[in-house]
Amino acid sequence: MKLKTDYLFILLSAFFFLGCEKEEEFIISPGVIYNSTEAINRFEELDQQGVLIVNSYFNKDIFHLILENQDTLKVDGRIVETFQPKPAEWNAELIFRDGKTGIAPYLGNTLDILPDSVQVNPSGYGPLSALINITMPAIGKFKFRVVGKNGSKSDITHTPSNISKVHRLNIFGLYGNHENTVEVSFLDNNGNERIKKSLVLHTDPLPAKLPLIEVDIAKREAMDGDLTLVSYRGLGIPFMPFIMDSFGDIRWYLDYAAHPILNRISYECGIEPLRNGNLYFGDVSNHAVFEIDFHGRVLKSWNFEGYSFHHNVIEKPNGNFLVAASKNTSQHLNGKITINDIIIEIDRMSGGIVKEWDLKQSLDENRTVWMNNLGNNTVNWLHNNGLYYDESDDSIILTARFQGAMKITADNRLKWILAPHLEWGKDRNGVDLNTKLLRPLDQNNQPIQDLDILEGRTNHPDFEWVWYPHSPSVKSPGSFLFFDNGDRRNYSTSELYSRAVEYIIDEENMTVKQVWQYGKERGIDAYSRIQSDVDFLPNKNNILFVPGWNVDNGGKFGGKVIEVNYASGEVVFEARISPSSGQQALHRAEKISFY
């Protein structure tokens, strides 16, 4: 009996020993993949996430796959037969001992961009733009750099947000008549470079129609951005807008001469950026508003039957457009057709006209102190040339070449008039407009009461009116910015200068105080009788001052783009823009970015 018991103990002990030895051999380690199906599924997840394997090694029967995000994928080495990286294909082949094969995303060493996937001027209207179509074997994103002629400060770089295998790279900022180097980098999801390739893109010479640009001052660290969109009008229709950099090189322009619709583009005030990153403008030739991309492709247009476009269109915060218009049936009290005295609001989605402001109802259409043209066949008594929407009270600020600057409500009631107090009568509703005139204050906040100053025959040391103004805007609540052209200033032509001018307007007390100006000290050097622009650039606290017509450019004539620091008055950028002939240069200019 004892023999049988001892024999059973030996058998159990042997079984226990063997069982323990077998269990130790197959201990499950956390984070290790022990079967081919799980490994293949994990590879598919990595591919979908855009995470690549960058290296591999064996350690204690564990096959370590190092990922570009610093994680490690661990596979039981005993289930792996072979591992073959194929960097030219951006993958690796893993053959398992059970006969299955897994394809894992792996860091590649090729960036194939076929010649027919690169198009310079893909639309036919943007000669300094390009489109590159790339399909990669792995998910990621791209960064590209247009190498500038003048060092890194003239480079144009962009990293699109698209994370995918399929990419469309919209390249802007090439140079004309140049072998442009464009560096294209394929990145991981975190922006780390995987591989880079340089392309050379050839462009044709710039058209002779574009102007001579001479940069006199460029203090780049103090400037608010490097690129300026110029709504160029030189040498006539079709107008040719361009973007210049701070070195005076043209880096983008549109040539619509062969366009089926825009071949006579006449955008008056000019082209401006939309909130969605595209561009827009009103066109006098088609009497419509157009939305385009930077390639020059028309994305959408809005017509307004019964009206014609002139001068200015602006985008409201809700996306609708406010358009300075003329109405085909608009009549002066004398029975003649009027022009340039209507504002309409266009619904961005439906294209319908949702509101109209007839400015004959809210202003004095018989006031002729600045221009007597009531006897003309078409009466241009107002000449509304600029609009700005004031979101704070749902009102519109407008500039009118022949009347001054004013603010109207959403229901077409006049809030105030910024203009000399001379010969104001009543509107069509019988409202005495003298009650809407802003009263000027000196720097001590005391009322200016000299009648010659109030009526505009002379200036006060602390205050001047705007004359034939353009480009209204709100700099900050209660602070208003205008381009004061200075045409017929004080009813004379003896002193010629234009200004960027800021006023503080107290709408409750109906007072106006001049708090800042630039340009008077420049005299004829920056005088523009018509057109022109002014913008506040908040990032650097600068003012963009743009006299655009017949400006003396040192023996040539055209316009200037001047960026001046608001606090110090220091000019941080100045460029002269001179067409080869004529006086016409530009209406407006905007600081802009391609992306």
Q: In 3-state terms, what secondary structure has residue 127?
A: coil
Same domain assignment for residues 134 and 92? no
Same domain assignment for residues 120 and 183? yes
Q: Catalogue the long-range contacts made by 461-466 (C-beta closer than 8 Å, 24 or more residues apart).
A: 462/514, 463/513, 463/514, 464/489, 464/499, 464/501, 464/514, 464/517, 465/404, 465/418, 465/419, 465/420, 466/399, 466/404, 466/405, 466/418, 466/419, 466/501
| pLDDT value at residue 22 | 42
Averaged pLDDT, 528-542:
98
What tens digit of pLDDT does each residue of 555-583 get? 999 999 999 999 999 999 999 999 999 88
The answer as to whether 424 is a domain residue is no
Same domain assignment for residues 100 and 6? yes
More confident residue, 553 or 372: 553
Domain that holds residue 45: 2-105
What tens digit of pLDDT does each residue of 377-436 get? 889 999 999 999 999 999 999 999 999 999 999 999 999 999 999 999 999 999 999 999
Same domain assignment for residues 119 and 196? yes
Same domain assignment for residues 8 and 75? yes
Last residue of a domain, one of 181, 202, 223: 202
Residue 121 belongs to domain with CATH number: 2.60.40.3100
- Give percent of the chain with pLDDT exceeding 70: 95
Same domain assignment for residues 95 and 10? yes
The answer as to whether 8 is a domain residue is yes
Last residue of a domain, one of 85, 105, 125: 105
Averaged pLDDT, 518-532:
97
Same domain assignment for residues 139 and 82? no
Question: Do residues 255 and 261 lie in contact, with contact meaning Cβ atoms separated by under 8 Å?
Answer: no
15 pLDDT above the threshold of 60: no
Task: Give burial (CB, 10 Å; 0-12/13-18/19+) of 496.
Answer: middle
| pLDDT value at residue 27 | 63
Last residue of a domain, one of 139, 169, 202: 202
1 pLDDT above the threshold of 70: no
Residue 548 banded pLDDT, cuts 50, 70, 90: very high
The answer as to whether 228 is a domain residue is no
Q: Name every residue whose Cβ is closer than 8 Å to that of residue 153 and which is 6 or more positions away in sequence.
A: 220, 226, 246
3 pLDDT above the threshold of 50: no
Question: Do residues 465 and 457 lie in contact, with contact meaning Cβ atoms separated by under 8 Å?
Answer: no
Same domain assignment for residues 147 and 69? no
Residue with tokens 């690796």, as numbered in its chain: 92
Averaged pLDDT, 202-213:
97
Averaged pLDDT, 268-295:
97
More confident residue, 362 or 25: 362
Averaged pLDDT, 32-38:
96
The answer as to whether 191 is a domain residue is yes
The answer as to whether 303 is a domain residue is no
Question: Do residues 294 and 172 lie in contact, with contact meaning Cβ atoms separated by under 8 Å?
Answer: yes
Is pTM beyond 0.95? Reply is no
What tens digit of pLDDT does each residue of 157-180 get? 999 999 999 999 999 999 999 999
Rg (CA), the chain: 34
Least confident of 25-29, 40-44, 544-548: 25-29
Ramachandran sector of residue 394 (left: φ over 0; alpha: ψ -120 to 50; beta: rest) = left
Residue with tokens 């420049």, as numbered in its chain: 522
| pLDDT value at residue 373 | 80
In angstroms, the Cα distances linking 428 to 191, 327, 378, 490, 522 are 63, 18, 19, 28, 41
| pLDDT value at residue 297 | 98
Residue 6 banded pLDDT, cuts 50, 70, 90: very low
Question: Number of structural domains, the chain?
Answer: 2
What tens digit of pLDDT does each residue of 141-158 get? 999 999 999 999 999 999
Secondary structure element (H or E) that encloses residue 6, with its range: helix 2-25
Residue with tokens 């403008």, as numbered in its chain: 281
Q: In 3-state terms, what secondary structure has residue 2?
A: helix
Question: Do residues 220 and 592 lie in contact, with contact meaning Cβ atoms separated by under 8 Å?
Answer: no
Residue with tokens 């591992």, as numbered in its chain: 83
Averaged pLDDT, 94-112:
97
| pLDDT value at residue 8 | 30
Question: Do residues 390 and 396 lie in contact, with contact meaning Cβ atoms separated by under 8 Å?
Answer: yes
| pLDDT value at residue 11 | 34
367 pLDDT above the threshold of 70: yes
d(CA 475, CA 30): 62
Averaged pLDDT, 520-541:
98
40 pLDDT above the threshold of 60: yes
Same domain assignment for residues 122 and 101? no
The answer as to whether 55 is a domain residue is yes
Same domain assignment for residues 23 and 83? yes
Same domain assignment for residues 10 and 99? yes
> Which stretches of 419-532 are assigned E, i.e. beta strand?
439-441, 470-476, 479-484, 499-506, 511-518
What tens digit of pLDDT does each residue of 374-388 get? 888 889 999 999 999
d(CA 409, CA 404): 17
355 pLDDT above the threshold of 60: yes
The answer as to whether 143 is a domain residue is yes
Same domain assignment for residues 99 and 121? no
4 pLDDT above the threshold of 70: no
Alpha carbons within 13 A on the beta-carbon side of 550: 11
Q: Name every residue whose Cβ is closer than 8 Å to that of residue 110 and which is 6 or more positions away in sequence.
A: 87, 88, 90, 195
16 pLDDT above the threshold of 50: no
| pLDDT value at residue 374 | 86
457 pLDDT above the threshold of 60: yes
| pLDDT value at residue 12 | 30
Q: In 3-state terms, what secondary structure has residue 577?
A: strand
The answer as to whether 220 is a domain residue is no
Average pLDDT, the chain: 94
